[in-house]
Structure 1
């Protein structure tokens, strides 16, 4: 079997290439995450063309067998706090695994990793004990963090779970899109409260939020056709935002929304604000975005408080995943 590796441009790829990639991805997800509904063609293409803002620059390489696209390698180069990390993800159609396609894709990505000068390589989340995790382990990747993936299915959730009163001394505010200028300073400060979220031994660092970074993220999301909804808790005595939660909905997958950061300033924890904000978000979302059927979120496995908050409003754990990491030098040696 002859494998050919070529750079893949998500903006200029042919419809045939997208269709073949979609078939490979559907087959891969069916094997690895059968608890998820099949991903649509539109969502597959949209995800390639609109990576998360935190991913930074993304590049792709495709693997072909007899002219058919059967795998894809992805390199993400985040900036800011994570500018020392190169994130590599490799997907191969299950029918073509264990034939060297994944390894050849990884080899094709490595020159770009070397040129980036980044010393650390990590990968996206994968199930512990999965074939992907075993393959990564054989290349020297080690587990550095564990998370749970949770899902709220609106039709299967009792709406009364979202009837959560706001505690005395606080009020809620909300907006879609751009943060009101008068609130952006305290909004940025409240988003900083996520900094103490557990990350295990991962080299990933959470963003440092300030008004400029918030405006930059808002512009990026708008350019991608993503709608961001935000609910905040305001301390009435000071007028300051002390809690934040956000939801993202992408045009390419309107039936799914994705939980963004939830944080509460340390001095105001213990008042149930996380649950209050998330419940208010659900009441708002189901009215204005009735096409949304599922909300997805990921939470560190050690963050038992946030897992309990999610559980209280209807989220359920659908899988447990690990994050793996190695050094660029070690990976290059393993592939040589």
Structure 2
């Protein structure tokens, strides 16, 4: 098969190209993740045009066969703690896999990767032992971390699982972003408690949260049309926020919500506060957002405590993922 690789502008793409991208993405996702519902056009294009904050800045390259878009390569670079890392992701329609298109897309990212100055390259998370995992391994991407994706299907979950009382000495507060000015510093400090969450051998580091970073995140989410709900637990004796959880909803996929950070300050762990804030979040969500049918969350496979907390609230494990990385130099050699 002959094909052509060209830069792709998601914001300026023609309707036909976006439709072709959706077909490639949906077919690829159905094959690789059959446990998920089908990917709609709105979800595929919305995710493409509205990258998650953790993606950073994204650039794309498309593969065309006989004038039809059949694959997409993505290079995402972040700043701050992860400014030495780039994320590479390749999607190819299953009908044209094993013909060199994925390799050509990965190779097309290389000049931009070198220009970015990033020394480490992460691949998209893939299922253990899947064709995608074997393909990534071929180019030197080694497993550095493992995680589980859990889902809570609201219609299949007993609401009484969310009837979790607030422990004595604590109280709850909640808001839809932005955070109240009088709580912003305490909120940032509590979110920063995520620093000791396990990351395996990955080069990725958790973001450091402060007032400025919180406000930047809130502005960006608002610009994307995303809604962020936050529930916090406050220690009554000190007035400190000692536990937080967040939930994100995007207009392009109204039936889903995505778990944001959940963290508890170390001195207050062991009191069930993680379960408390997550249960309160579910009671709030189902009361105000009846269109939401499913919650998704990713947790490090070593974080058995949080996995158990989620299961107690009705989550079940949907899949297990490998996170892989290599160096820019090694990837360049592998593609030479």
Category of TM-score, reference length = shorter chain? over 0.9
What SS class does the counterpart of residue 206 from structure 1 fall into?
coil
Query: 3-state DSSP class of the match of 2:270?
Result: coil
In structure 2, the partner of 1:44 is 44
Per the TM alignment, residue 79 of structure 1 is displaced from its structure 2 partner at its CA by: 1.0
1:100 aligned partner: 100
State how 1:60-99 maps to structure 2 within 5 Å. Answer: 60-99=60-99
Query: Residue 172 of structure 2 corresponds to which residue in structure 1?
Result: 172
Following TM superposition, by how much is the alpha carbon of 1:39 offset from its aligned partner in structure 2, in angstroms?
A: 1.0
Equivalent residue, structure 2, for 1:182: 182
1:246 aligns to what? 246
2:326 is matched with 326
Aligned residue for 1:267?
267
Q: Deviations over 1:27-51 (max 9, x none)?
A: 1111110010001101111101110
How far is 1:318 from its partner? 0.7
1:216 is aligned to 216
Query: Which residue of the partner structure matches residue 197 of structure 2?
Result: 197
How far the C-alpha of 1:106 sits from its partner, in A, is: 0.6
CA distance in 1, matches of 2:285, 2:65: 44
Greater CA drift, 45-54 or 230-239? 45-54
Counterparts of 2:78 and 2:228 in 1: how far apart (Å)?
A: 21
Equivalent in the alignment of 2:286: 286
The alpha-carbon deviation at position 177 of structure 1 amounts to 1.2
The Cα shift of 1:85 comes to 0.3
The C-alpha deviation readout for 1:52-101, integer Å capped at 9, x for no partner, is: 11211100000011111110000000111000001000010111110000
1:29 match: 29
State the Cα RMSD in Å.
0.5
The corresponding residue for 2:155 is: 155
1:215 shift after superposition: 0.2
Tell me the equivalent position of 1:302. Answer: 302
Unpaired stretches in structure 2, ≥5 consecutive residues: none
Task: State the distance in 2 between where 1:16 and 1:70 align.
Answer: 12
Q: Structure 1 stretches (4+) deviating beyond 6 angstroms?
A: none
TM-score, normalisation: structure 2 = 0.99
TM-score (norm 1): 0.99
Q: Secondary structure at the match of 1:263?
A: strand
Alpha-carbon offset, residue 319 of structure 1:
0.4
| Corresponding residue pairs, total | 336
CA deviation after TM superposition for structure 1 residue 274, in Å? 0.3
Aligned equivalents of 2:115, 2:287: Cα separation in 1: 49
Shift of 1:125: 1.0
Stretches of structure 1 lacking an aligned partner (at least 5 in a row): none
Q: Secondary structure at the match of 1:34?
A: coil
